[in-house]
Amino acid sequence: MNTTVLPVNPRYPQAKAIAAAARALQQGGLVAFPTETVYGLGANAMDADAIRRLYRAKQRPAGNPLIVHVADLAQLEGLAVDIPDPALQLAQRFWPGPLTLVLKRHPALPDLIAPQRDTVALRLPAHAVAQALIRATGHPLVAPSANRFARPSATRAAHVLADLEGRIDLLLDGGPTRIGLESTVLDLSRQAPVLLRPGAITLEQLRAQLADVRSGGAMLDLDDDDALPESPGQYRRHYSPRAELLLYEGEEGAVLAAMQDAVRAHAGRGRRVGLLGALPDLADCEQVSPGEGQEATGRGLFAALRELDARGVDVILARLEESGGLGAAINDRLRRAAEGRIIRV
Ligand code: AMP
Ligand code: MG
């Protein structure tokens, strides 16, 4: 299969490009497109065959649930049932935006979007390309991250091509994505609201709207998109660079000293070492910084991991963020990518 790449203005998407992408989706094809979080791999949510193709393209085990993307609140009606008031309040407050709500599913949806459950995850993305594409297609779209199974999510068109060229019909290249981390996932289908995945809408922001949101699902999330089924209690491999990622937690000076020791030890065994960050005092390692500050770190995290892989390092050292605000989401992705290799100094 040839993958067509169409450049598109991220704010004022060209009607021609959107129409071509919508046509491909209406015919059961797969189209990667930018959202404000990461690039999504879109398929018509009402088309079970297209969804099967999507699982195959990503090499993702069937059974992992998908997020259904809508272009306006009115579309919720045909997708969810028994929608609780807090869901509507949160949608009013945070949509369009990086918040996914898990609700009770409407029977019209194919079972494949969330096999063996009676729920559906829904989101209205805040990106002109995503919205125009959903509208032009005339159907909601499932759109998991446009990367191969267990790889870091794609935040640039080049990442999509590196993982999926020749496996998907079309890519709308709208430049790098603004947030860079996948959406916050909040389950409102049970008695108490549970945060399943931290994201740019923080736990603090959710609690300001809905006092009883429980966190905790995040690291134990059995529903996770690309997670490999592993034994209980283990971190799941996800967002992973090819290199081994080692995380450091602790006071800055101590972390720097421990990293310098690690560089020496690994180099002594002939391994190439990379650093996720910029530390002029740390010698003899490849350094790629995602950016300064939490927002820039979130935006550049996956690109930096991919860049370190491209430079051929065997091991990547990184420091965990402060846990408040966006730090929770960044650390969640780092921990999964590191499969639990955390060094406390
Ligand atoms: P992605 O589409 O790659 O951003 O990831 C999908 C995420 O949505 C996974 O982490 C799932 O945990 C979550 N998700 C999707 N559908 C459901 C559902 N019906 N119930 C619970 N979680 C879901
Ligand atoms: Mg994913």
* pLDDT tens digits along 178-213: 999 999 999 999 989 999 999 999 999 999 999 999
Residue 225 Cα: closest atom of ligand 1: 9
State what percent of residues in the chain have pLDDT above 90. Answer: 87
Residue 149: CB atoms within 10 A of its CB come to 19
> Are the C-beta atoms of residues 295 and 289 closer than 8 Å to each other?
no
Half-sphere exposure of 335 (CA within 13 A, CB side): 18
Q: How far is ligand 1, taken at its centre, from the CA of residue 72, in Å?
A: 20
DSSP codes of every residue in 45-93: TT-HHHHHHHHHHHT--TTS--EEE-SSGGGGGGTEES--HHHHHHHHH
Q: How many distinct helices (H) and strands (E) make up the chain?
A: 10, 16
**Strand partners of residue 173:** 7
pLDDT at 147 over 70: yes
pLDDT tens-digit series, residues 246-260:
999 999 999 999 999
Query: In whole numbers, what is the pLDDT of the chain averaged over residues?
Result: 92
Q: How far is ligand 1, taken at its centre, from the CA of residue 67, in Å?
A: 6
pLDDT tens-digit series, residues 66-110:
999 999 999 999 999 999 999 999 999 999 999 999 999 999 999
Closest-approaching ligand to the CA atom of 184: 1
Supply the pLDDT for residue 136: 98
217 confidence band (pLDDT: 50, 70, 90) = low
Q: Residue range 152-173: average pLDDT?
A: 98
**Strand partners of residue 260:** none
Q: 225 in ligand 1 pocket by Cβ < 6 Å?
A: yes
Residue 182 Cα: closest atom of ligand 1: 4
pLDDT tens-digit series, residues 221-243:
433 444 443 333 334 567 788 99
Q: Residue range 318-335: average pLDDT?
A: 94
- For residues 220, 223, 228 and 233, what is the CA-based torsion angle, rounded to 10 degrees? 20
At residue 313, what is the residue type? Answer: V
Supply the pLDDT for residue 191: 86
Supply the pLDDT for residue 229: 39
Picking from 165-179, 205-219, 267-281, 305-319, which range would have the lowest pLDDT averaged per residue?
Answer: 205-219
150 confidence band (pLDDT: 50, 70, 90) = confident
Collect all residues with Cβ–Cβ distance below 8 Å to 228 and sequence separation of at least 6.
Answer: 150, 236, 237, 238
For residue 330, give the 3-state DSSP assignment: helix
pLDDT at 292 over 60: yes
Give the strands of the sheet with 286-288, arranged side by side. 286-288, 273-276, 315-319, 244-249, 342-344
pLDDT at 218 over 70: no
Q: 221 in ligand 1 pocket by Cβ < 6 Å?
A: yes
> Are the C-beta atoms of residues 100 and 183 closer than 8 Å to each other?
yes
User: Could you tell me how many residues make up the chain?
Assistant: 345
DSSP codes of every residue in 230-268: --TTSPPP-S--SSEEEEEES-HHHHHHHHHHHHHHHHH
Give me the residue label for tokens 């209980």.
232
Give backbone dihedrals phi and psi of 231, rounded to 5 degrees, phi first: -70, 150
pLDDT at 317 over 80: yes
137 confidence band (pLDDT: 50, 70, 90) = very high
Supply the pLDDT for residue 62: 77
d(CA 176, CA 166) in angstroms, rounded, equals 21
Q: How far is ligand 1, taken at its centre, from the CA of residue 299, in Å?
A: 20
Supply the pLDDT for residue 61: 81
Q: How far is ligand 2, taken at its centre, from the CA of residue 148, in Å?
A: 8
Pairing of strands 67-69, 80-81: unpaired
Give me the residue label for tokens 């770190």.
297
d(CA 196, CA 182) in angstroms, rounded, equals 12
Residue 189 Cα: closest atom of ligand 1: 20
Supply the pLDDT for residue 237: 65
Structure-block tokens of residue 157 = 């068109």
Picking from 4-8, 248-252, 279-283, which range would have the lowest pLDDT averaged per residue?
Answer: 279-283
Give yes or no for a cis peptide into 96 (omega within 30° of 0): yes
Q: Residue range 314-333: average pLDDT?
A: 95
pLDDT at 270 over 60: yes
More confident residue, 102 or 63: 102
Question: 2: alpha, beta or left, given left = phi > 0 and alpha = psi -120 to 50?
Answer: beta
Supply the pLDDT for residue 63: 78
Q: 197 in ligand 1 pocket by Cβ < 6 Å?
A: yes
